[in-house]
Amino acid sequence: MEIRHLKTFFTIVRLGSFTKAANSLRYAQSTITFHIQSIEEELGSQVFDRVGKKVQLTETGKRLLPYAKKILHTYKELKDATSLNGEIQGELVISASEALLIYRLPLVIKEFKEKYPKAVIHLKHLDPTQLKTELIDGEVDLAFLLDKERKEEGIRFERLVSEPMMLISKDVISLDRPDSMKDRVFLFTESGCSYRVVFEELIEQYLHLKETNNLQFWSIEALKQCVITGLGISILPYITVKNEIQQKKLQAQQIDQLITYIAFHKDKSLSPTLNVFLEILRNHTEQW
């Protein structure tokens, strides 16, 4: 049984699908199937029941899961260890919200890769509902998120910077004149996003609306371009619309502030790779 077989097994469990695991791991579907068949041949029993498009763990699969987690965690710690000459060459899995990934992290990652070219970074989209689970289970080493005051048992949150939140539109609107927002299309980011919550609270507070004419976007850039065309209004972090405001493509009013946090396992020892990444990150935050 190989490490890659266990990684495939664990990814299927996490994502709930052979197809999703193949896409995540960038394997052909046949490779995913081969990995699982190899595990089942060695154990002499199936690890998954396949019911239609869904997969469920068998009793053997349930018994295998905690061992697979432990082995993968130990393997990652081994890879994170420095070589004899002290060269950083471990792996980091970083999850981040779209705004931070686009507007905060590129320069940090660039400097890190220039200094430590043998280190590997895996980036993934932050799912706020899975934040604690992914950090506790070791699926993610470091998470970047925008939120209000945040606390989770077992997770350390480190505040980096306050992020102004802007009400944006093509023409002038104002919270002092709530009528200027009536009969507008409200453009929302995806469910679970912290600034969607801010927007929904604002709509209820100023317009007393429970149901609205709205559209939902998975992409900040797509949403922003729709506001520029005059389709509707929205709320986004200032860092995402700074250039458009300066170029007068958007009208904006600050309505709230959120906080950019980093989050990691409270009791987990930090690998040398993560430590040097955090050092570079904190140097950059002084300029934010």
pLDDT of residue 212: 66
Q: Are 169 and 233 in contact (CB under 8 A)?
A: yes
pLDDT in tens, 164-216: 999 999 998 877 887 887 788 999 998 878 888 888 888 888 777 665 678 99
DSSP-based three-state secondary structure for 245: helix
To which residue do tokens 């579907």 refer?
29
Q: How far apart are CA 112 and CA 192, in angstroms?
A: 30
Mean pLDDT of 94-113: 94
pLDDT of residue 105: 95
pLDDT of residue 235: 93
Per-residue pLDDT band at 268 (split at 50, 70, 90)? confident
pLDDT of residue 85: 59
pLDDT of residue 106: 96
Label residues 6-22 b or e (16+ Cβ within 10 Å = b). bbbbbbbbbbebbeebb
Q: How far apart are CA 238 and CA 224, in angstroms?
A: 12
- Residue 83: how many CB atoms within 10 A of its CB? 10
The 3-state secondary structure of 179-224 reads HHHCCCCEEECCCCCHHHHHHHHHHHHHHCCCCCCEEECCCHHHHH
Domain 91-161+260-285 top-level CATH class: alpha beta
Closest CA to 104 of 58, 70, 144: 144
Label residues 231-249 b or e (16+ Cβ within 10 Å = b). ebbbbbbbbbbeebeeeee
Name the residue ranges covered by the structural domains of the chain: 3-80, 91-161+260-285, 163-257
pLDDT of residue 232: 92
Strands 234-237, 155-169: parallel, antiparallel or unpaired by DSSP?
A: antiparallel
Q: Same fold for the domain at 91-161+260-285 and the one at 163-257?
A: yes
pLDDT in tens, 132-142: 888 887 888 99
Task: Report the CATH fold assignment for 163-257.
Answer: D-Maltodextrin-Binding Protein; domain 2 (3.40.190)
Q: Are 2 and 70 in contact (CB under 8 A)?
A: no
To which residue do tokens 């927007």 refer?
199
pLDDT of residue 54: 78
Q: Which residues contact 152 (CB under 8 A, 6 or more apart)?
A: 131, 132, 263
DSSP-based three-state secondary structure for 174: strand
What's the burial of 40, exposed, middle or buried (CB within 10 Å: 0-12/13-18/19+)? middle
CATH 1.10.357.10 is the classification of domain 3-80? no
Mean pLDDT of 275-282: 94
